[in-house]
Amino acid sequence: METFTLATAGAGLVYDVRGPLPTADGRPPLFLIGHPMDASGFAALAARFPDRTVVTYDPRGLGRSTREDGRVDWTPEILADDVHAVVAALGAGPVEMFASSGGAVTALALVARHPDDVTTLVAHEPPLITITPDGPAAVRARAGVRDAYEQRGWGAGMAAFVAMTSWEGEFTDAYFARPAPDPAAYGMPAEDDGSRDDPLLSDRSWAVSDYRPDVDAIAAAPTRVVIAVGEESRAVQTGRTSDAAAELLGQRVTVFPSHHGGFLDGEFGYPGKPDEFAARLREVLDAS
């Protein structure tokens, strides 16, 4: 693996390349992206593609990447332009892409803004909360996570986030009537850690989950777009946003093993099924 730093407008983007460029097999590089997850979250998945040249990166201001643009928020457009810059720096033509969570939103913006960058995009569980039928309630639930974090710190915010993302079905009055979740019940610390800048729990990534894909631009792009969902996610928010995104693009979701982090091993405490997940991803990419 080689690691590079690319200076762009207002950021220093760190990216990793596993394998040769140009690629040994003649296929496009496989680019794995997330948000707010950085490259470290894709180690298990990358290891299951030893025959491919795999690229990962840290979004600006996260992981090893820096930002000097004077902003503290993230937007899909800025993130997409950063990924475009890395694709151009690779000098290997368009890439195949697996994008998860907020990275899937970035990737949809990338296809709309830079349609020649990606041959096949597998967008896994994009959290596009405003396009679901209960969009206003989902926005209210998201605000509740931010409020818990602002008032009591990381443990309370993360407990609220887990409670929100594990809720099945639409956000009804029953959801909002529940007492604030106890951080200890989720193995989270109860004391306030003093942070208020977490990209997942604050409002700094709200532009990502507020994004509405440019359907016309995506349809006009040469990219094959696949909206993917974990089999264990179907009833929860990211499963429902996946269904809504697929419907918006005139397709049906493609089901993958496991949950929102189904490609993770046990390193982050919520393991998925990385072997099965990688096999499914390979099958979907090979169908291009």
Q: What's the token pair of residue 196?
A: 């208020």
Per the model's pLDDT, the better-predicted residue between 189 and 266 turns out to be 189
Give 236's contacts (C-beta < 8 A, 6+ positions apart).
165, 166, 167, 168
Tally helices (H) and strands (E) across the chain: 10, 9
Question: Under DSSP, is residue 233 helix (H, G, I), strand (E, B) or coil?
Answer: coil
Element spanning 13, H or E = strand 11-18
pLDDT digit string (tens) for 227-236? 999 999 999 9
Banded model confidence at residue 82, pLDDT cuts 50, 70, 90: very high
| Torsion, CA 227, CA 229, CA 235, CA 241, rounded to 10 | -30
Element spanning 152, H or E = helix 135-152
**pLDDT score of 268:** 83
Would you say residue 288 has pLDDT above 80? no
For range 31-46, the mean pLDDT: 98
Give 60's contacts (C-beta < 8 A, 6+ positions apart).
8, 10, 11, 12, 13, 66, 67, 69, 74, 78, 79, 82
**Residue 174 DSSP class:** H
Q: Is 134 exposed, middle or buried (0-12, 13-18, 19+ CB in 10 A)?
A: middle
Average pLDDT value for the chain: 97
**Residue 236 DSSP class:** B
Q: Say what the pTM is.
A: 0.97
Residue carrying the six token digits 């596009």: 128
